[in-house]
Amino acid sequence: MLVGQILKFKGDSVFTLAPNETVAQAAGLLNERRVGCLVVMDAQDKVVGILSERDIVRLIALQGTAALSRPVSSAMTTSVIFADPTEAVDALLARMTDRRIRHLPVCKGDRLLGLVSIGDLVKSKIAESEAEAHSLKAYIAAG
């Protein structure tokens, strides 16, 4: 299965914020939206970073509660790893495991198309395996 197919099923909704918003605002948005990361976009709608719960925890561990008033740009990951909509799920699972990341923005050129999590990819693999098992059972039963 390709990532673009997952986005068609899941949807292309991505929660974003600007790099000058505060870490406290980001934490509130993560909680409100019940998500694990936010994509940081500049004024030209270009992805400039990704902010995860893990990034916020690291900043608070280093700076204490003062970190909450810092801009998102001070906590975000700037070396964002992207996915292309034509990539296979297996390739992305390997990339995410190797890099120890849980979210990938999906882009075509500079245009953000969506976001996939490792959970989305695992769910896709399970569905694919179940469909294959069902097909094999049907084939065997038809004998």
Tokens representing 123?
């769910």
63 contact partners, CB below 8 Å, separation of at least 6: 70
Is residue 37 within 8 A of residue 53, CB to CB? The reply is yes
CA 92 to centroid of chain Cα atoms? 11
The structural architecture, per CATH, of the domain 3-142 is Roll (3.10)
Contact 76, 70 (CB under 8 A): no
Bridge-based pairing of strands 47-52 and 103-108 is: unpaired
DSSP for 74-133, please give it.
Answer: GTSB-S---B-TTSBHHHHHHHHHHHT-SEEEEEETTEEEEEEEHHHHHHHHHHHHHHHH
Instruction: Identify the sign of the CA torsion 57, 62, 64, 68.
Output: negative
Summarize pLDDT for 62-108 with one digit per residue, the tens.
999 999 999 999 999 999 999 999 999 999 999 999 999 999 999 99
Tell me the pLDDT tens digit for each residue of 58-70: 999 999 999 999 9
pLDDT-derived band at 128, boundaries 50, 70, 90:
confident
**pTM value?**
0.86
